[in-house]
Structure 1
Amino acid sequence: MEWYVVGLGLLGLLMLFISIGLPIPFALAAASLPFLWQIQGWKTSIVSSELKLWGVWIDYILLAVPLFVFLGELIGKSKIGPNLYQFLHQGVRLRGSAAYGSIGASAGFGAVCGSSMVGALTIGGVALPEMLRLGYGKRLSSGVLAAGGTLSVLIPPSLILLFYGIVTDQSIGDLFIAGVIPGIILVSSFVVVVLIWGILRPEDIPGSEDAAKMPMRMIVATVGPVMLIGLVITVAIYAGIATPTEAAAVAASLTVLLAFWVGGLTWQGFKEAIFSTMRTMGYLGLLLSAGVLFGFVLTYYRVPQQFTELFLSFDLSPYTVLAIVLVFYIILGMFLEPVSMTFITLPTIYPLMSAAGFDLIWFGVVYTITMEIAVLTPPVGLNLYVIQAISRDQVTIGDVIMGCLPFIGAMILLIAVLIVAPDVALWLPEQMR
């Protein structure tokens, strides 16, 4: 069977199954199975599918995923995340402190949790009602929190960078550290966006805020756990003391202790964190397993390699190839969430980017920023609906979308900076080596 027949067949079946409402993991598996039967036959393919499913669940590297998810859920169910926002809001005595505090809290949360949606839920659940009460504009309030949640995706540890490393076989540690400087730039860009917003639309930011000053004891109990957890993850991975999986295990254990000790976590909250992690991993586990089947069929028929050769035969410049890929992902991000896109498209795209001459660590950072844009673009922008849901109908989905546009512009500008100056992402990994 020709490679293009397989590629178009897989894509056609996948779109068909998704359009009739089949969940993406099952759609991926269902699209793969007819071609798997052509390769191995019915009985062998069933056994092969079972082995690949089992292989995903016992993969050592992938054990970091549930541990980071559990860590984020613990912080979300305790008072550590919400208190971080209160500290940054009440501790910064200037106009717009709640908006700046939301960005800072989202960045701090991103340093200990790699999930965009968990970040938006945790910080947004506390910050959005408070910002609306203080008189902030609906678009600014919802936009800064929806976009702030994406900082968890770029600032390490990041689940998208972790999945990217697994699919492309790149160093997880190098990918994590490559995201540090772009992450800092993006946080600074969001602050500038709020500053400019306040100048252009001063009515959206109140002149004074009636926020009580946080006691020193609460400040220590708030900042201390986040700094300690982030330090454990950072030092363990980058100093070569532990693998990302081991660092995630130690950080998750430490988070359990801190969440109970200073975060006010209850046994009910602890159980909810466990069940929420299980639900998330149930979906991700099926998605990973189906993605492995999908990738196996693609690889067997050499679809990525043949696609790369075909694309390069048009003799396009590397930056034209990059532009086409980025536009493709932004459009696709309007309909699929980032994890699904990673396992559906990346096995075909990354060989093309490598053949075009781009560093795959650098492309991992650019790819991750593009995935951040994806969670802010309708109709399937997850963060949009998270923020709209926690507003309890005080904010419309249109308000959230309009509020996100300036922050999406900041992300696009960061991609342009990375294209012009790749060392922004590559300098730190090179120094660490």
Structure 2
Amino acid sequence: MEWYTVAIGLFALLMLLVSIGVPIPFALAGAALPFLWSIQSFSTSVVSSELQLWGVWFNYILLAIPLFVFLGELIGRSRVGSDLYRFLHSGVNVRGAAAYGSIGACAGFGAVSGSSMVGSLTIGGVALKEMLHLKYDRRLASGILAAGGTLSVLIPPSLIMIYYGIVTDQSIGNLFIAGIIPGIILTSMFVIIVLVWSRLHRSHVPDSDNATKLPRKRIIAALTTIGLIGFIIIASIYTGLATPTEAAAVAAVITFVLTACFGGLTFSGFVEALKRTMLTMGYVGLLLSAGTLFGFVVTYYRIPDELTSLITSMGLSPYVILAVVIVAYILLGMFLEPVSMTFITLPTIFPLIHAAGFDLIWFGVVYTVIMEIAVLTPPVGLNLYVIQGLAKDDVSVGDVIVGSLPFIGALVLLVLALLVVPEIALWLPEIMS
């Protein structure tokens, strides 16, 4: 079969399976198997599939993913995340302190967890009800927390960057470094949005927040835990003392000790963190395995190489190619969650981006920001439903969508800034090297 026949067939069959409700991992495998059987006999394909899956499950780099997920779950099951929010909320005596505290807490949580959903659940579980009780506008409150969770994806460590690094064979450490300045810029933009919103709609933000201050011991415990874990992850990876997997392992152990001793982690919370990690990795593991089979078929028929050759032969400007890719990802992000998009599309897209002359570390940051947009865009914006689920009686999905729009605008502006000034992402990795 010709490569384009296989490409169209794979995509059509995948979309058909997804549209009838087949889970993404099984849809990927289901789309790949008919073409795999056209390459090999059934018995041979079973053996080759086993070898492919073995390679996925025993990949050393992939061990960082469950460790970072477990770390985030430990923080979420303890009171460290909520205490961080309450400290930032009650310790800053300014109008809109709860809103700014939510952004700060999401950014701080992002320094120890790479999951957007865990970030939204941990901080949002405390902050949303508190902000609604203080009479913050429900759209502003829900929008802040839905968008705030995305900071966990850009500020290292980032699970999406780990997935991207694995698929494209790029340095995960360099990707983490490249995300620092864009993460700081995005956090600042979120703060500016809240400031402007509070000036334009004064009734949406109370004049003062009457919050009870935390005991000093709990403040110290929360700040020490977040600061120490973040420092260990960042310093060990950036100085070359540890790989991302080793840094994640050490950080997970220290997180357990600190949250158990000082962060209020209970035995039931620990067990729940283990369960949630296993549930998450069960899905991700199936997705990785199915993605490997799908990628094997794609690579066998040389679809990425042929597609790259076809598009480059058209003589299109590199920025036209990039613009088409970005728009396609934004549209695709309305229907697929980021992890699925990464393993379905990146093996085909990144050779095209590389052939167009773009730096793959820089594109990794752009890609990560686009994935942040994906979790905020309906109809399948995960963070929208996570936040709405925290206060079903007071907040509708429409409220969360409207509240998220200014923050989506900030994400789009960050993408444009990265296109115009690539050094925003590349300057720090170059200095560190």
Q: What range describes the TM-score normalised by the shorter chain of this pair? A: over 0.9
1:74 maps to what in 2? 74
Distance in 2 (alpha carbons) for counterparts of 1:364 and 1:419: 12
1:430 maps to what in 2? 430
Distance in 2 (alpha carbons) for counterparts of 1:207 and 1:226: 30
Distance in 2 (alpha carbons) for counterparts of 1:215 and 1:270: 24
% identical aligned pairs: 69
2:94 maps to what in 1? 94
2:274 maps to what in 1? 274
Secondary structure of 2:125's counterpart equals: helix
Find out whether 1:392 has 2:389 as its counterpart.
no
State the Cα deviation string for residues 245-267 of structure 1 (Å, max 9, x = none). 00000000001101101111110
Distance in 1 (alpha carbons) for counterparts of 2:132 and 2:2: 58
Distance in 2 (alpha carbons) for counterparts of 1:386 and 1:328: 25
TM-score by length of 2: 0.99
1:161 maps to what in 2? 161
Distance in 2 (alpha carbons) for counterparts of 1:410 and 1:19: 31
Distance in 1 (alpha carbons) for counterparts of 2:361 and 2:99: 32
CA shift at 1:417, angstroms? 0.8
1:105 maps to what in 2? 105
Distance in 2 (alpha carbons) for counterparts of 1:127 and 1:76: 13
Within 5 A, what are the aligned runs for 1:268-347?
268-347=268-347
Distance in 2 (alpha carbons) for counterparts of 1:384 and 1:52: 35
Distance in 2 (alpha carbons) for counterparts of 1:204 and 1:326: 34
2:5 maps to what in 1? 5
State the Cα deviation string for residues 341-380 of structure 1 (Å, max 9, x = none). 0000001110111111110000000000000000000000
**Residue range with higher mean Cα deviation, 298-307 or 211-220:** 211-220
Secondary structure of 2:26's counterpart equals: helix
2:59 maps to what in 1? 59
TM-score by length of 1: 0.99
Within 5 A, what are the aligned runs for 1:15-414?
15-414=15-414
Distance in 1 (alpha carbons) for counterparts of 2:405 and 2:113: 25
Distance in 2 (alpha carbons) for counterparts of 1:403 and 1:170: 35
Distance in 2 (alpha carbons) for counterparts of 1:106 and 1:393: 24
Paired letter, 2:70: F
Secondary structure of 2:285's counterpart equals: helix
CA shift at 1:216, angstroms? 2.2
**Residue range with higher mean Cα deviation, 217-226 or 271-280:** 217-226
Structure 2 gaps of 5+ residues are: none
Distance in 1 (alpha carbons) for counterparts of 2:311 and 2:390: 44
Paired letter, 2:139: R
State the Cα deviation string for residues 307-333 of structure 1 (Å, max 9, x = none). 111112222111111111111001000
CA shift at 1:20, angstroms? 1.3
CA shift at 1:148, angstroms? 0.1
Paired letter, 1:144: I
Distance in 1 (alpha carbons) for counterparts of 2:51 and 2:66: 20
Structure 1 gaps of 5+ residues are: none
State the Cα deviation string for residues 154-191 of structure 1 (Å, max 9, x = none). 00000000000000000000000000000000000000
* Number of equivalenced pairs: 433
Paired letter, 1:317: S
Secondary structure of 1:377's counterpart equals: coil
Secondary structure of 2:207's counterpart equals: coil
Paired letter, 1:416: L
Secondary structure of 1:207's counterpart equals: coil
Paired letter, 1:135: K
State the Cα deviation string for residues 400-431 of structure 1 (Å, max 9, x = none). 00000000000111111111110110011011
CA shift at 1:47, angstroms? 1.4
Secondary structure of 2:314's counterpart equals: coil
Runs of 4+ in 1 over 6 A off after TM superposition: none
CA shift at 1:215, angstroms? 2.8
**Residue range with higher mean Cα deviation, 307-316 or 146-155:** 307-316
CA shift at 1:213, angstroms? 2.3
CA shift at 1:14, angstroms? 0.4
